[in-house]
């Protein structure tokens, strides 16, 4: 009688580990990109931040579904709260208030005086003179 030894099947790592770490990476990549772009002076609505964190939390959820663990669930909850805060901030907290300034559609412009690029004075009387003029309102870069 010969002894036949069978090799044990090789242990494979959980397929959810890649999703989990990729999700964490995407969740952290959004704020890092936002900080870098803010340092460069590129201010705008950070939709990339919302997209990366949402996809990252989704990947972490897939990892938890494939193989649940305490650490995975805790990190999913923490990054899920971060993602929810980012969405809340962009959708609700970053809205500008309604314009309450002196200029209204259909009303006359209030009295103003400004200087043109060549240094000459310009006021609302120049607009009433009948000469073709264009008045451009620039809110600034902020």
User: According to the model, what pLDDT value does residue 120 have?
Assistant: 87
Residue-level pLDDT at 87: 92
pTM: 0.60
Whether 142 has a pLDDT exceeding 80, the answer reads: no
Would you state the pLDDT for residue 131?
74
pLDDT digits (tens, 9 = 90+) for 34-80: 899 989 988 788 889 999 999 999 999 999 999 888 999 999 999 99
CA distance 91 to 75: 24
- At residue 62, the pLDDT reads 93
The whole-number average pLDDT for the span 103-109 is 73
Higher pLDDT, 88 or 5: 88
Mean pLDDT score of the chain: 83
At 130 the pLDDT is 75
CA gap 115, 139 in Å, rounded? 17
Distances (CA, A) of 108 to 73, 102, 105, 113, 114: 61, 10, 8, 15, 17
């Amino acid at each position: 009688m010969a002894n036949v030894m069978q090799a044990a099947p090789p242990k494979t790592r959980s397929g959810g580990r890649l999703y989990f770490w990729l999700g964490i990476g995407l969740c952290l990549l959004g704020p890092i990109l936002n900080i870098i772009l803010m340092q460069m002076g590129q201010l705008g609505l950070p939709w990339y931040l919302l997209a990366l964190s949402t996809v990252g939390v989704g990947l972490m959820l897939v990892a938890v579904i494939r193989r649940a663990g305490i650490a995975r669930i805790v990190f999913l909850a923490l990054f899920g709260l971060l993602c929810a805060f980012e969405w809340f901030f962009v959708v609700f907290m970053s809205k500008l208030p309604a314009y309450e300034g002196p200029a209204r559609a259909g009303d006359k412009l209030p009295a103003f005086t400004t200087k043109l690029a060549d240094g000459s004075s310009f006021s609302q009387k120049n607009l009433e003179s009948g000469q073709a003029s264009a008045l451009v309102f620039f809110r600034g870069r902020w």
